[in-house]
Amino acid sequence: MEVEKAIPQPEPAIAVNDYKILSTDVLEIIVFQETDLKTTVRVSNEGTIIFPLIGVIRVGGLTTQQAAQTIKDRLARGYLIDPQVSVTITEFSKRRFTVLGEVQKPGSFDMPDQREVTLLEAIGMAGGYTRIANPSNVVVMRKNNGEDQTIRLNARRMASGQKDSSFVVLPGDVITVAQSVF
């Protein structure tokens, strides 16, 4: 008698409901029973879109549910009675990070859609360490509110479970793995 085993499916690190709309995402907006208002639009670099009847709307940084509510509220102000709006992301913007230094394949990498990337995963995407790498000395350069921030991390401890291994890489981060000093 064979027993079927369920294959565990990986879960995204960011729930779809938590995803924040970014510039260059492509949105499909549907207003129920208003086919003339069905719109596919790319979010501008400023985080705005132009929607029929109501003009410019800021959606950058909102979830799809929040964007739908914003559009619904604006349409309800004199255009439609109780509009039902849905917003779907049909194309995600490219979110990239860079890994430099003592890794096998230094360069820029795309982040998976709707998913976070940890520091250890980012180093893995870059092919792992070279033989002269110093995993105890990893530096992450990050823009934080327009200012450069330097974060020093010990990836060796993270990998061994001695320290929190869930440090999340953000779009635009530059990760540098130092060289060992002999």
Q: Is the pLDDT of residue 13 over 70?
A: no
Pairing of strands 174-179, 96-101: parallel
Q: In 3D, which of 142, 107, 130 has the Cα closest to residue 179? A: 130
- CB–CB of 153/140 below 8 Å? yes
Count of alpha carbons within 13 Å of 159, Cβ hemisphere only? 16
Question: Per the CATH hierarchy, to which homologous superfamily does domain 96-179 belong?
Answer: Outer membrane lipoprotein wza domain like (3.10.560.10)
Identical fold between 16-91 and 96-179: no
Assess if CATH 3.30.1950.10 describes domain 16-91: yes
Residue range 160-174: average pLDDT?
A: 81
Q: Is the pLDDT of residue 10 over 50?
A: no
pLDDT digits (tens, 9 = 90+) for 98-156: 999 999 999 999 888 667 889 999 999 999 999 999 999 999 998 877 788 999 998 98
Would you list the domain boundaries of the chain?
16-91, 96-179
What is the pTM (predicted TM-score) of this model? Answer: 0.59
